[in-house]
A and B are shown apart, each in its own frame.
Chain A
Amino acid sequence: MNNTPWWASEDVWRKIAVWITAFMFVVLIFLTFDSVSKITAGSERVPPYSVINKRIGYEFNAERNMQVPVIGEQAPLFGQALTEEEAEALVTHGKKVVQGRNCMNCHTLLGNGAYFAPDLTKAWLDPAWGNEASRETLMTMFLKDPTNNARTFGSGRKMPNMNLTDEETRAVIAFLKWMSSIDTNGFPYNFKTIQQEG
């Protein structure tokens, strides 16, 4: 026909393109089924919403060579144990507040978002909340009035008042507590948690 070698042939490359694309897509679909099943709430990597009734830690695991969340004994959020349904409703409200107030265009969650403010993946465990006894009070105070409870660590960069209601604040804290229990393969690295009993 003509003397174009096969490797410069339009036809050959068109077929290669189609087959590679189709193959990669199929593999991705397969992996997606697997991954999504492993991250549904209540799986090993992503605990159920009722985990907010428990103490959550983040400890070094020698076998995996990284820090992993550790779920401890009963330690209900605001001293009030919730059923699975109640917990899910509360965390859902918290997530919707986080979206509605656009927190992610200042903060990162699981490391994704904006870089103007601290990562919130383990905010529930942050040592800046003092200790377990003071944590819930200090978090509530801060979220309700970040201007007057600002820390800024010398940066002068304050969080604006997001006008959260009491209910919204409680929901956001529940969401943050639940998020801190997700197994994120050791991110953030070297995080030092708040003082907690074992």
Chain B
Amino acid sequence: MAIGVLDSANLNGGQKLAVKYFTAAVALFVAQILFGILAGLQYLMPEFLYNVLDFNVNRMVHINAMIVWMLFGFIGAVYWLIEDEAGIEVVGLKLGNLAFWLFTSAVTVVVVVYLFIQTGPGTDTTRWLINEGREYIEAPRWADIGIVVCMLIFFYNAAATFMKGRWSGISGVLVLDLVALAGLYLAGMFYVTNISVDQYWWWWVIHLWVEATWEVLVGCIMAWGLMKTLGARRKIVTTWLYIEVALMFGSGILGLGHHYFWIGTPEYWFSIGGFFSALEPIPLVAMVVHAVYDSGVHRFKNANHPALAWLIAHAFGNFFGAGVWGFMHTLPQINLYTHGTQWTSSHGHLAFFGAYATINIAVFYLAIQKWRGNVWMAGGLADNGWKWKWSLALLNIGVVGMTMALLIAGYEQSFIERAVGGSTWSGYFAAQTNPWFMQGMWWRQLFGWVTAAGVVLLVWDLVTIGRGETRAAEMPEVEAPEPGGAAATAGA
């Protein structure tokens, strides 16, 4: 086993596939940031790329790149841990590779079409070939079908490998969660004229992904990550995982109602949506307690400092971005004024970054360590680890800075446009031209550049960390699941 050089002999089959997903994910992360910067600039300089690469195109690429890179990261993470967890090789590795290339080519074609064809006439052909025009799931129908096929292959690989090898509590939750995650995508794959019905189902996809199935998926990755970095005990992380599932699904499924206040749906959603979504922060608090407690018990002693730092960033980011920022505008009395303002954008940025970018980055660090032959990644790195520390700092300061700038702009907009101005055309621009708003947009851009610097440094660090290092890491053993025990039936 060569230490300090990238050698795929260090990886098992699933992991070789996983690093392909991670590489594509990092590339898309860079693209996300690039198009975010362009969209942000158009707030400040309205003539910038006007009629060439308009705001709607930049924004669409920005958020689509985000969704896809995170999904790639999640799929990669599952392929990363699957052989360890199941105790056997992935059953359909060839098929898995095929799905990776299919998925990646589809994404490339979709982005090229977004950028160069952009829009089409109001016909069904446009929706099938160019753009569906619904936020986050703009991908044309042919690509939707391709994505579903790739997800089915992925799901088959996960379920069949565990079935043939062994189940554990974590893998049981994981596989059931993947069924729900893939199934929900279907709710976004049909056309309706009625915009109320359209948005009703659209939120099934968006909300039940990020506030239910994605949360549970990262719960599984977190559980495994804590065993991997800290050597946490399997029984403890599995029990916590069940508690989190109960709390997350218990609040998040009906919490969906916080998107049904104003789209035409009946008034009973005020109480149902308001009540259950207000409970959603509870599992996120539990997660913080869990992560910090486990780290404390093991005295933060671990063999991969960047990965653990990003796991802890995940626990806090999830709590603040989703839990606190979400809670602040989730009651209908408040949402009436904040709905569809920069307030929402503030929450969207902190939540997606805090909950999902962070944990993906943690997994990237775990992967690069093993890829270089389980190289030393604890304290006393060659260059004092300045790159990972600075990129951690820049990314977090950048996103928190953007969040604060957007929050100030959002408060102003809620007040001037939504409350006083009655959300008319002129009311909208009264808010947009207010100095508080305009300064907020400048600060967002400034912190956007800080974020971008963090990403550049992150990529550089991932490429170089552990290169030429000669010390091997002392990795904790991950406890194997009990044969036969309660865990074994969890998948049933």
Contacts and interface: CB of A to CB of B under 8 A. Distances in A.
A111 B134 contact: no
B433 A153 contact: yes
Contacts of A27: 253-254
B10 interface: no
Given A35-B265, A188-B422, A179 B195 contact: yes
Contact of B199 (A110, A114, A147, A171): A110
B253 A21 contact: yes
Nearest to B208: A28
Given A46-B194, A95-B193, A100-B119, A110 B264 contact: yes
A189 B193 contact: no
A154 interface: yes
Nearest to B336: A189
Given A113-B340, A153-B430, A187-B336, A45 B264 contact: yes
A156 interface: yes
A195 to B, nearest CB: 13
A20 B422 contact: no
Instruction: Give chain B's interface secondary structure class.
Output: helix
B117 to A, nearest CB: 11
Range of interface residues on chain A?
35 or more
Contacts of A155: 46, 429, 432-433
A100 B422 contact: no
B59 A13 contact: no
A158 B45 CA distance: 11
A99 B432 CA distance: 25
Nearest to B239: A10
A105 interface: yes
A182 B263 CA distance: 8
Nearest to B51: A160
B193 to A, nearest CB: 4
A9 B242 CA distance: 10
Interface in A75-131: 88, 91-106, 108-119, 121-123, 126-128
Contact of A102 (B57, B194, B336): B57
Nearest to A22: B249
B345 A115 contact: yes
A96 B135 contact: no
B275 interface: no
A153 B122 contact: no
Interface stretch (B123-131, B350-358, B386-394): B123-131
Contact of B132 (A24, A99, A126, A191): A99
3 closest A-B pairs by beta carbon, nearest first, are: A99-B133, A97-B122, A153-B429
10 contacts: A17-B173, A20-B249, A24-B250, A28-B254, A100-B133, A111-B339, A116-B43, A128-B424, A152-B46, A189-B418
